[in-house]
Homo-oligomer: A and B are copies of this chain.
Amino acid sequence: MPGINGTHGTSQTTAYGDATVDSLLRKESTPSAPSDTCQEDVQLVLQSFRLLIADLCQQFGMGHPGSAIGMAALGVALFKYVMRYAPHQPQWFNRDRFLLSNGHACLFQYANHYLAGYKAMTWEQLLSYHSERSDSLCPGHPEIEHEGIELTTGPLGQGIANSVGLAIAAKHLAHTFNRPNFEVVNNHIWCVVGDACLQEGVGCEAFSYAGHLKLNNLTVIYDNNQITCDGSVDLTNTEDVNKKMEACGWEIIDVMDGVNDVEAIVNALEKGRDPNRERPLFINVRSIIGVGSAVAGQAVSHGVPFGKDNVAAMKKAYGWDTEKHFYIPDKVRKFYADIPKRGDQYVKEWEQLLDRYTKEHPDLGQAFKDRMAGKLPSNLESQIPSPDSLPTEDTPSRKSNNIVMTNLFAQVPSFMIGTADLTPSVNMSWKDYEVFNPPSLTPISGKKGSYKGRYIHYGIREHVMAAIANGLAAYAPRTIIPVTSSFFMFYLYAAPAVRMGALQRLKVIHVATHDSIGAGEDGPTHQPIELAALYRAMPNMLYIRPGDSEEVAGAWTAAIRYDDGPSMISVSRHALPQLKGLTKREGVQRGAYVLQEEKNAAVTLIATGAELSFAINVKDALGKAGIKARVVSLPSFKLFREQSREYQREALRRHDGIPAVAIEPYASLGWERWADAGIHMKGYGHSLPGKYIYQHFGFTTESMTERVENFCKAWKGGEIGRGEYCEL
């Protein structure tokens, strides 16, 4: 039986420290699959897998063949030998989680899912990769909606960050629910990364933080093929990767031949499960992108099919029929055939364990079942303080958050709250909170660590905070409800991960504080102007700017009810008047509502969040000048967009010919939908203490009133018509 040596004519070399493409390719075929399988079988499996990928890309002349082919041996090690999962019960709670952070190599996962026997991944489905089928389960990157996919990956670095979230979730649940002799949670998290995930900032944050947390239930497998789109990695990156990972607190295992040496990979992976290891494990697997093809070891094999002739040559070199496409020998099918049964056995044993556990620890067993089912206390919303018990004095809405939610945070174990090094500023902690940190760690300042802890100090790592939150949320629906917090402006750092949460409809609640120019003296770098436009435009994202404590209660109510994606509650640093009797939490649920009605109004003033009270002040001042105004609070574009047109008309009364003026010191973009004019920021903010900055930009009652008055005149005089948004 032919090995893979001599299958191509390239003398291309690549960097492996101590190996080259050629040396690896020339290496005598010394397969070393676990002893229960003969070497020949494994070689056949590897060839079959590689050719299947090549054919799948060739089919429609599109796709990413190289990495998936290079990882063939890793696939065997993971899906056949090491991972504990159940293809026929893919939602088994204690399954190992697998993430492909280099999501473009998705065929690796699809083909392995097919071979391992996932039911949804039929042969027909596998062949639909890059077809015209809009119901394909084989999109260009793995998507969470499909069986066996834990999270959507693709934007590089997200997957490794998500897998840290999965590992935190597993570790937290294990330490919360496991009891002696009852390891109801003891699964392992496996994540494959490519060179890109090691370069992306969010990946770097993830590695650093996972090392700190000593997540020994996480194994990262580095598909070290030394090739990126632009060429060899050394064009852009000459780090000592192992040394860097070690410095970050990881244990390292090298696998020198990731092309053929299944046994070495299996041995390395098995070390991942060792409960005595105190660090996460990084397995550096040398592989060859597009191995076996004429473009092996070359960048061009990354995202372009090899071409018909090259695929034929590959088959020929393997001694296969060059005219047979998508061929999987029976031996190969047989090789994988036992996986579903084995998986069912895992599930059965675990369910028996769970039964014994529930008998021995009935309350805990019930609690665990509730958590697995994502069940929240039925009285959750009623625990939010009533309007009467909210403050009457001016209160920063970041503090209102704390008033509204920390009691629930303390009581409801599903919430895991974290902040990117702004604990003193964002007010998200509660009395006696425990910190999620290794139990072995007692920081110089701060509390002893515990994996039972539900308060996460993410460090100054906003991007990975949001990406980890996605992993926490994806572990199982509502088993953990992650809450993150930082200054609103720094949710621009986190935006790619926040978006991934929205794309995947993950229930994550982001609390963005310091959300207006009123944040003050930190200056324009810290004052959001344009960021709300992003989150208001983002599909599935529930962005809310509540105006006082009552609206904060409304915002949390909405966020708790919303199961179709992330929410972001955007609050102020500075104290806001409490608009008692005007603001209504139920109003927030409709996105906008009338705060002050006025039958014969000449103008509607719309405001939101930290500047909601400005509209009331302007209304009063306009009243003195003989202009009647009504006031609308509009905390959420999304919720208001979803209302009926009748409700929208009632709230805004533009249909009655009344013009609307928005007041919000952000960029105007988007306000044109609701208003005819607006008082907004025309550029960036300024470094001035809070009490001076609104004045500096003309957000005084006097100035705003004058501008609205002039606008009303121009409107009345017909100088300005509807559909010509005026920035006053």
Contact = CB atoms under 8 A, between A and B. Distances in A.
Given A154-B523, A540-B683, A459 B237 contact: yes
A539 B529 contact: yes
A122 to B, nearest CB: 18
A534 B204 CA distance: 26
A559 interface: no
Contacts of A423: 229-230
Interface string A72-96: 0000000000000000000000000
Contact of A235 (B457, B496, B649): B457
B141 A522 contact: yes
Contact of A445 (B204, B209, B299): B299
A126 interface: no
A114 interface: no
A367 interface: no
A724 interface: yes
B238 A140 contact: no
Contact of A537 (B63, B241, B669): B669
A204 B199 CA distance: 8
A424 B525 contact: no
B140 A229 contact: no
Interface string A95-112: 000000001100000000
A211 interface: yes
Contacts of A226: 444
B236 A525 contact: no
Contact of A461 (B199, B208, B692): B199
B493 A496 contact: yes
A186 B112 CA distance: 56
- Among A63, A196, A211, A687, the one with the most B-chain Cβ atoms within 10 Å of its Cβ is A687
A143 B688 CA distance: 13
Given A493-B496, A525-B141, A235 B537 contact: no
A228 interface: yes
A528 to B, nearest CB: 10
Q: How many copies are assembled?
A: 2
B228 A421 contact: yes
Contact of A232 (B13, B14, B139, B445): B445
B205 A236 contact: no
A41 interface: no
A200 B205 contact: yes
Contacts of A521: 62-63, 130, 139-140
Contacts of A531: 534
Nearest to A60: B689
Which of under 10, 10 to 19, 20 to 34, or 35 or more describes the interface residues of A?
35 or more
Contact of A421 (B14, B229, B445, B682): B229
A234 B444 contact: yes
Contacts of A538: 529-530, 667
Contacts of A463: 201
A211 to B, nearest CB: 7
A476 interface: no
A622 to B, nearest CB: 21
A683 B205 contact: no
A682 to B, nearest CB: 7
- Among A136, A143, A425, A525, the one with the most B-chain Cβ atoms within 10 Å of its Cβ is A525
A621 interface: no
Nearest to A688: B134
Nearest to A724: B645
A683 B564 CA distance: 12
B134 A692 contact: yes
A441 interface: yes
Contact of A156 (B238, B460, B522, B724): B460
A372 interface: no
Contact of A239 (B62, B195, B203, B212): B212
A526 interface: yes
A588 interface: no
A211 B228 contact: no
Contacts of A134: 686, 688, 692, 696
Contacts of A445: 12, 14, 227, 231-232, 235, 298-299
A454 interface: no
A6 interface: no
11 contacts: A140-B521, A156-B460, A199-B461, A201-B201, A229-B422, A231-B446, A232-B444, A234-B443, A503-B525, A538-B667, A655-B721
8 A-B pairs with the lowest CB-CB distances in the bound complex, closest first:
A201-B201, A139-B687, A236-B459, A204-B204, A154-B525, A533-B537, A244-B247, A530-B537
Interface of A: 12-15, 60, 62-63, 103-104, 130-132, 134, 136, 139-141, 143, 152-157, 195-196, 199-205, 208-209, 211-212, 226-232, 234-241, 243-244, 246-249, 298-299, 419, 421-425, 435, 437, 441, 443-446, 457-464, 489-490, 492-493, 495-496, 499-500, 503, 520-526, 529-531, 533-534, 536-540, 637, 645, 648-649, 654-655, 666-670, 672-673, 676, 681-684, 686-689, 692, 696, 721-725
